[in-house]
């Protein structure tokens, strides 16, 4: 056998795929049993955690004026429980509902006074929306992530303020213009206008 031939016992360099690598890294790049077990446990705990977030907020049917007002400003839309519900429905179609869920969770945290509950809710929000392991991770810049990681040593009701503002701005600039042109918003506008003209 020449020097250049490969013997069967030669160890080949590891490929980038690493299908059976031991996964004590945090990148979730391989499919070992440890990773699968962790994923199963995470899903089970997540189902319990997310039970605290209602599918939609309880609210009265919006008036035609209110629905038209949502097109005037994003603030009006976000201050209206009915508006948030419709906007959240739209975000679901764009696979970005986690932005609204994160924003709502931050609002809930800001209204909390009990220190133990604040700590618990802050950790839940971190796991659900900030952790790079979460499928519902929201898009934040590195500066905001660093601030959160520092604040998580002693969480408060305002731990996520910077992140909440960044996600609010993202929804305003990115999703809101598309929402106003969406079939969801236009059909709601037609339906409330029709029902008010009939009454």
At 92 the pLDDT is 97
Q: The domain containing residue 128 runs over which residues?
A: 63-196
**Residue 144 belongs to domain with CATH number:** 1.10.167.10
The reply to whether 41 falls in a domain is no
Local structure of residue 88 (DSSP, 8 states): H
Q: For residues 57-75, b (16+ Cβ closer than 10 Å) or e, as one string? A: eeeeebebebbebbeeebe
The reply to whether 30 falls in a domain is no
* Secondary structure (3-state) at 144: helix
Of 124, 133, 119, 131, residue with least CA distance to 104:
124
The reply to whether 177 falls in a domain is yes
The reply to whether 14 falls in a domain is no
Contacts (Cβ under 8 Å, ≥6 apart) of 51: none
The reply to whether 26 falls in a domain is no
Number of CB atoms found within 10 A of residue 189's CB: 16
Looking up tokens 């440890």, which residue turns up?
34
pLDDT digits (tens, 9 = 90+) for 81-102: 999 999 999 999 999 999 999 9
pLDDT digits (tens, 9 = 90+) for 29-76: 444 443 444 444 444 444 434 333 445 666 678 999 999 999 999 999
Instruction: Provide the number of structural domains found in the chain.
Output: 1
The reply to whether 22 falls in a domain is no
**Averaged pLDDT, 13-29:** 40
The reply to whether 5 falls in a domain is no
Separation of alpha carbons 157 and 82, rounded Å:
25
The reply to whether 25 falls in a domain is no
pTM over 0.75: no
pLDDT digits (tens, 9 = 90+) for 97-154: 999 999 999 999 999 999 999 999 999 999 999 999 999 999 999 999 999 999 999 9
Of 135, 69, 144, residue with least CA distance to 106:
144
At 56 the pLDDT is 63
């Amino acid at each position: 056998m020449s020097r250049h031939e490969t013997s069967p016992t030669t160890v080949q360099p590891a490929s980038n795929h690493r299908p059976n690598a031991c996964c004590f890294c945090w990148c979730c790049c391989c499919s070992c049993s440890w990773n699968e077990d962790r994923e199963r446990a995470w899903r089970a705990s997540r189902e319990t955690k997310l039970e605290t977030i209602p599918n939609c907020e309880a609210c009265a049917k919006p008036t035609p004026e209110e629905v038209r007002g949502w097109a005037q400003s994003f603030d009006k839309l976000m201050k209206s429980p009915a508006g948030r519900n419709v906007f959240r429905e739209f975000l679901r179609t764009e696979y970005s509902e986690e932005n609204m869920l994160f924003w709502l969770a931050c609002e809930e945290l800001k209204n909390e006074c009990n220190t133990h509950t604040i700590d618990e809710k802050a950790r839940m929000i971190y796991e659900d929306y900030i952790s790079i392991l979460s499928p519902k991770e929201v898009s934040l810049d590195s500066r905001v992530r660093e601030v959160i990681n520092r604040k998580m040593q002693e969480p408060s009701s305002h731990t996520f303020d910077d992140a909440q503002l960044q996600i609010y701005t993202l929804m305003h600039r990115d999703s809101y213009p598309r929402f106003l042109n969406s079939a969801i918003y236009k059909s709601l506008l037609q339906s409330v206008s029709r029902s008010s003209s009939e009454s």
